């Protein structure tokens, strides 16, 4: 979906099985690279600032080193998909302290008739002179 509108997509996933399945399901997409590893470690190793980031962390939220890396090498935009309001609030506070501004927030009822709710939050980095 994203690969047709950008130059390059880098997907980071800790689960080897998920990386293998994703590679099979996306066979033929040339500008897509999967990296198996912890996001906080891979971001440090990449050494480049991404234009946009999509975060979909586990219920415990993002690792503090991931949030620190995104503050040190800020992407223009972050789409943060969360399944836990408490960890979302904690992580957003860190990102806002790192210069990000919340543009929008949309709850998503992915599991009707349950108390679970997903939330998509879009942030932009507030660095002056940067789109």
Query: What DSSP state is assigned to residue 4?
Result: G
Q: Output the tens digit of pLDDT for each of the chain's 131 residues.
A: 567 777 788 888 899 999 999 889 888 888 888 889 998 888 888 877 888 888 999 999 999 999 998 888 888 899 999 999 999 999 999 999 999 999 999 999 999 999 889 999 999 998 654 44
pTM of the predicted model, to two decimals? 0.83
List domains and CATH numbers for the chain: 1-37 (no CATH), 50-131 (3.40.50.150)
Q: How many CB atoms lie within 10 A of CB 109?
A: 10
Buried b (16+ CB within 10 A) or exposed e, 15-50: eeeebeeeeeeeeeeeebeeeeeebbbbbeeeeeeb
Q: DSSP readout, 62-77?
A: --HHHHHHHHHS--SE
Q: Which two tokens stand for residue 78?
A: 């972050």
Q: Is residue 22 within 8 Å of 12, Cβ to Cβ?
A: no
- DSSP H helices, 6-105, are 16-25, 39-46, 64-72, 85-97
119 is catalytic: no
**Given 83, 88, 95, 123, which residue is catalytic?**
83
């Amino acid at each position: 979906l994203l690969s047709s509108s950008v130059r390059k997509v880098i997907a980071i996933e800790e689960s080897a099985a998920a990386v293998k399945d994703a590679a099979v399901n996306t066979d033929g997409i040339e500008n897509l690279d999967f990296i198996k590893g912890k996001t906080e470690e891979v971001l440090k190793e990449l050494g480049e600032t991404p234009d946009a980031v999509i975060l979909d962390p586990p219920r415990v939220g993002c690792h503090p080193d991931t949030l620190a890396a995104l503050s040190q090498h800020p992407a223009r935009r972050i789409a943060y998909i969360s399944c836990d309001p408490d960890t979302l609030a904690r992580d957003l506070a860190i990102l806002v302290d790192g210069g990000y501004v919340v543009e929008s927030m949309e709850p998503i009822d992915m599991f009707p008739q349950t108390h679970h709710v997903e939330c998509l939050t879009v942030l932009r980095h507030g660095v002056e002179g940067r789109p």
